[in-house]
Every structure is written in C-alpha cells, then in structure tokens.
Structure 1
C-alpha cells in the first residue's frame, strides 16, 4: 500500500492500478477507495490507469484532528496528483468525491485535467440562504449530526435500503448492503461528522460555472441521499455544455446497482 504525505504532515493511502491514460476516482462521504471495486477492474481491462485515494480520516489513511473542509481535501487531491505527476487526467467523483473534485478545479485549475465526471455528486450548494432558496436549513443537517452522535450504526442501517433504491427492484444482496454499512462505520466518526457539515456549507456554484473541460453529470432519479432536484439537475444547468445522464431507477449507490450502465457511460465519455 503506497502512501504520500500532505503539506500538513498527514499520511494518506492511495492505490494505483494499470497503465494508459489516468483516471482518478474520488470516493463518497464515509467511504474509501474500496467503494470503486466494480469500476476499477473494468477500466484497467480497457487500458486505463486507475488512481484512488483514501481521504484523511477514511480507510487506511491518517486520522488527523483537522482538515475535513473541502478546501483542504481538494488540496490533498492536488498533492497526490502532483506526487504522481498525473496529466491528461479524468476526474471521477461520487457524492462528496464530486464536491472534492469540483473544489479541486476551483482551487487548482484545469492544466492537468482532460475531463471530469460528477456521479451522484453533492453539488452545487445544499444550504438554504437568501440566494439559494432551493437549499435546506442548517438545522436539518445538524439534526442528522445529532443522530450520528447518538447512534451512528442505526442511522446508516436505517438508510441502507434507500441508498440502493431496492424498492425499485435493484438487485443487491443483503451481504452487499451489510458491507456498505460496515465500510461507512470504519470511517473516523469525527471525520464523518465534520465532513457532513462541510458538505452542507460549501457553495460550489461559481466554480462549476467556470469549468471549461468536458463534463459529465450522472444522477439517479430515486437518490434519497442527494435529492436530484437539489443536486444533479441544478449541477447540470450550471456547467457549460455538460453531458447529463439521469438513471430513472437509481438511488445514491448506483456504482453498485447500475454497474454496467455507469461503467459504459463513463467509458464512452472518457473515450470521447
């Protein structure tokens, strides 16, 4: 397992598979690189190099007391990209990973980036404000935070079936659902809590408007974690010329329920 050290001394684990043009996969909130197990072999077999990061507080990386804001996390991604000297890179971010990728572009530009894909991304801005009437009040996010601090395993377990939209007939086994909950619970509780709050507070709208590289937005119409009217559809309207794909039966966990469709759409986009 290779590691690199960030500017603030945090040691982060990463994975690097295959050869060819690089694709960077950024993981969801409370999940680490392992969540991409249904994508990485596919892209390696199609001739791509796949790079994945365990963000701080997640997976095998250090658990520092600070750095769970989107600026620091974006800088961590930049540190790995520079460490490996990645160029002509495709960025793929799911959920919070999409927010990290958007923040990376806003802070570090597009010089090394060929294209970007936002999958079920927590974008563009979740918080209710005078200029964001579609958002939700911070009290709603803080209520969930209190539930984390009371019974975090129950919070994840109660939402696991909805995460995969099993009520729409998506075929996922009980073992896969259990694995997903277990992986989330392996994340440092404080990291999950602080990143939850950072997701709600971070406004990505201006950065999304400035994207000039080819962009793909993929979202499930049945996403209960990132409601499509609040996130995916609004994101697609902000990014100039982006390709938008909506999966009618997909929830947030479409990386596991719609494997063939997602992999095919990503491959078509990357080739393009």
Structure 2
C-alpha cells in the first residue's frame, strides 16, 4: 500500500495513477480519496496523471490523535507532492479539501502548481462572526460534534441521506449506493480526526491565504449547497483571489462531484485546458 511518512511520523496513504500532467485531489470531510473516483478515472482517461491522498485520520492514513488542523493538512499535502516530485500540478479540492488546497498554496507557494480549483469549498470562513455575518452560527458546528460523539454512524447516515447530496429536497431520488459509500468512507476514518476536523473546517479563516495565491483558481459552487452556504463562500473567495473565476450552479448539491460528475468533470477539463 503506497504511503509516505510525514515529519511527525504520520503515514499518509495515496493513489498515483497514470502519466502526464499531474492533477492532485483533496477530499472533503469526513471522507477519503475514494470520493474522487469519478474524477480520477475521467482525467486518467484524458491523459493526465491523477493523485489523491487520504487526509491524516481519514481513510487508510494513520488514525492519530492530533494534528487535525489546516496547517497540518497543508503540510501533509506538501509532503505528498514533494515525495512524488510533482511539477506543473493542478490542485483540486472539494469542501474541506478546498480549504486544504488554499492553505497549501498560501503556506508552500505555487512554484509546483499551475492552476487550482475549489469546489463547494469552506473558504473564506464558515462560522458566523461580526466580520462574517452570513456564516453559520457556531452552535451549528457544536451540534455536529455532539451528534458525532453520541452516535457517529447514525449522524453520518443522516448527513449522507439528507443535505450532503440534496436527497432531502422535494422530488429527489436518493441513491442507497451513494449513501452507503459515503458512510463507508466516513466510518473507515477515525472519530477523533473527524471530531477535531469540524473545528478545522468551520473556524479556520482563509481570507489572508486567498489573497496570497497567484495562480488561476476556478471557484465552483452551487447556490443550493446546504453544507457550505453559497452566500458566505464561493463569491467571497473569488473576489479575494488575485486570479479567481467563479462558476455558479443552480440546484446542485454539496456533493456535486458525485451526483453531477459529468457536468463537473467537463467544466474542470475546460478550465484546465483553457
């Protein structure tokens, strides 16, 4: 099983398929690199080298008890890209993974990166503050932690069968296979990493990180995102970026890379080739 060991002795699992220009995928909370199956196969078949890792505490990576914050996430991603000696890479992050990509670019520079895309991503800041009035109240995220600690599997089932994929919308047709796969990925990871990760994705302020990024970044977000509200995320991130482009969708769920893979893949390919 391909793994690298970080400076603090955490084993990070990764996938590395194909040849060509590298595309690196960063997954959302509380999932794993498996969540990128539709994208990795698509871009592999279009001649790209595709790489994805399991964040520390997630998937097949070490279930450590600490380091579940954006700085460690970004440093772990840097360790993977350095180990594989990636150049002219394209970084794509979904949800929490979008925050990971933003912190990575701000913290480690864009020398190895040509473009990036963040999908339904948590930047610039999810939690409500006086400076971020459209964010979600901290009590929402406190409730997530309470539900996770009380019954993680039930909490994950509720998220996957409801707001994550928009299956709670009128007329929606839930896919039990998609729900089961989400829950499988979640339960493969560690409870401590996921518990701490709620604070990491909700309370990290990426405002200054976004301002530091020089490479072109495609910001993809749906107005119907029930996990990361559009009004407090996508448009604000695009404005803070030096070279950001906003792509807005109507009616797509937070998990649009899975449920709307054909559209998302085509739009990502057009951006990468453009």
Q: Give yes or no for TM over 0.5.
A: yes
- The answer to which of 184-193 and 87-96 deviates more is 184-193
Aligned residue for 2:229? Answer: 227
- How much is the aligned-residue C-alpha RMSD, in angstroms? 1.4
| TM-score normalised by L of structure 2 | 0.95
Cα distance in 2 for residues equivalent to 1:145 and 1:39? 30
The superposition leaves residues 181-215 of structure 1 with CA deviations (integer Å, 9 ceiling, x where unpaired) of 22212220000000111112211011112221111
Aligned residue for 1:162? Answer: 163
Aligned length: 272
Contact 1:33 1:54 in 2 (8 A): yes
| TM-score normalised by L of structure 1 | 0.95
Cα distance in 1 for residues equivalent to 2:126 and 2:248? 20
Unaligned runs of 5+ in 2: none
Aligned residue for 1:258? Answer: 260
Q: What pairs with 1:110-149 in structure 2 (closer than 5 Å)?
A: 110-149=110-149
1:38 aligns with 2:35: no
Aligned residue for 1:194? Answer: 196
Given the alignment, which residue of 233, 241, 245 partners 1:243? 245
Shift of 1:171: 5.4
Contact 2:63 2:189 in 1 (8 A): no
The superposition leaves residues 47-86 of structure 1 with CA deviations (integer Å, 9 ceiling, x where unpaired) of 1000110111111111111110100110000011110110
Please state whether the residue corresponding to 2:140 is helix, strand or coil.
Answer: helix
Cα distance in 1 for residues equivalent to 2:152 and 2:34? 21
Please state whether the residue corresponding to 1:7 is helix, strand or coil.
Answer: coil
Aligned residue for 1:51? Answer: 51
Aligned residue for 1:150? Answer: 150
Unaligned runs of 5+ in 1: none
1:203 aligns with 2:205: yes
1:26 aligns with 2:11: no
Cα distance in 1 for residues equivalent to 2:224 and 2:127? 21
Cα distance in 2 for residues equivalent to 1:270 and 1:172? 31
Please state whether the residue corresponding to 1:148 is helix, strand or coil.
Answer: helix
Runs of 4+ in structure 1 deviating by more than 6 angstroms, as ranges, are: none
- The answer to which of 75-84 and 133-142 deviates more is 133-142
Cα distance in 2 for residues equivalent to 1:6 and 1:93? 21
The superposition leaves residues 155-188 of structure 1 with CA deviations (integer Å, 9 ceiling, x where unpaired) of 2222223211232656552222222122212220
